């Protein structure tokens, strides 16, 4: 029997889409040595689709490689959007003989220096999950000046990726 482990502490939230029951979520599940990156939008019209769940299924080696690509993206200071196309035999939740594009894992940095991530499927509403400062914690530099939103975003995205790489390795090593 396959064992799924949900990495709840890595869950990201975005404001609710118009008409949604509640805020959108980006969450991570490790199942049988694979990493599933999920978005759930909570739209009533997608209730029968597990409340708007879009799932990128990624093997462990590809997942670790993707983290390295994302970390390089941060290190170069690039702006713009990057993506990884995900292909599968499952289209619209049903198995097909022909492989096709299932969804995209998208990450990037906007013109304001805010890093973001999402999983998007053709024909579905996109949700962007930003790495931004929180209202609960305010980081200040040694000179007393606050870090900019862009600086915080870079630190948060990079820290999230590095921590995720470590935790996924431990979870898979323990049989999930």
- Strand extents, DSSP E, 32-151: 34-40, 53-59, 80-91, 94-109, 115-120, 129-131
- Host H or E run for residue 71: helix 60-76
**pTM > 0.85:** yes
pLDDT one digit per residue (tens) for the chain, 176 residues = 668 999 999 999 999 999 998 999 999 999 988 999 999 999 998 888 888 889 999 999 999 999 999 999 999 999 999 999 999 887 766 888 999 999 999 999 999 999 999 999 988 899 999 999 988 999 999 999 999 999 999 999 999 999 999 999 999 988 76
Max distance between CA atoms of the chain, in angstroms, equals 61
């Amino acid at each position: 029997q396959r064992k799924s482990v949900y990495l709840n502490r890595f869950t990201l939230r975005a404001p609710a889409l118009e008409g949604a029951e509640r805020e959108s979520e980006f969450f991570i599940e490790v199942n049988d040595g694979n990493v599933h990156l999920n978005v759930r939008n909570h739209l009533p019209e997608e209730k029968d689709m597990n409340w708007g769940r879009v799932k990128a299924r990624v093997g462990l080696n590809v997942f670790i490689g993707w983290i390295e690509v994302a970390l390089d993206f941060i290190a170069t200071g690039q702006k713009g959007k990057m993506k990884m196309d995900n292909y599968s035999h499952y289209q619209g939740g049903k198995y097909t003989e022909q492989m096709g594009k299932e969804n995209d894992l998208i990450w990037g940095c906007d013109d304001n220096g805010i890093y973001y991530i999402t999983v998007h499927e053709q024909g579905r509403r996109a949700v962007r999950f930003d790495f931004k400062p929180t209202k609960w914690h305010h980081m200040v530099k040694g000179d007393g000046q606050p870090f900019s939103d862009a600086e915080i975003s870079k630190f948060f995205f990079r820290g999230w990726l590095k921590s995720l790489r470590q935790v996924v390795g431990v979870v898979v090593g323990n049989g999930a």
